[in-house]
Amino acid sequence: MLLFRWTILLLLLSAVACFVFYIGTGELRYRLWGLKVLKWTLVAAFGFFSVLILERLA
């Protein structure tokens, strides 16, 4: 559980860092990386919460 929380937190922080780099430099690649990391962060979060919900139902 703790591992998943830390993973989601680190993915979210890396997405924020990519967006900060995009704002600072204006390079499109940082925005694209930020969106990719954010997408996978949301996938990981939905997976984590679905496991929690299924655990409650069982």
Q: What is the pLDDT of residue 43?
A: 94
10-residue mean pLDDT series, the chain (58 residues): 90 96 97 96 93 91
Q: What is the pLDDT of residue 16?
A: 97
Q: What is the pTM of this model?
A: 0.82
- Where in the chain are the domains? 2-57
Q: What is the pLDDT of residue 6?
A: 93
Q: How far lies 57's CA from each of 9, 40, 42, 52, in Å? A: 26, 26, 22, 9
Q: What is the pLDDT of residue 38?
A: 96
Q: What is the pLDDT of residue 9?
A: 94
C-alpha to C-alpha distance for 38 and 44, rounded to whole angstroms = 10
Name, in order, each residue with C-beta under 8 angstroms of 10's C-beta and a sequence gap of 6 or more. Answer: none
Q: What is the pLDDT of residue 1?
A: 80
What are the DSSP calls for 13-35, one per residue? HHHHHHHHHHHHH--HHHHHHHH
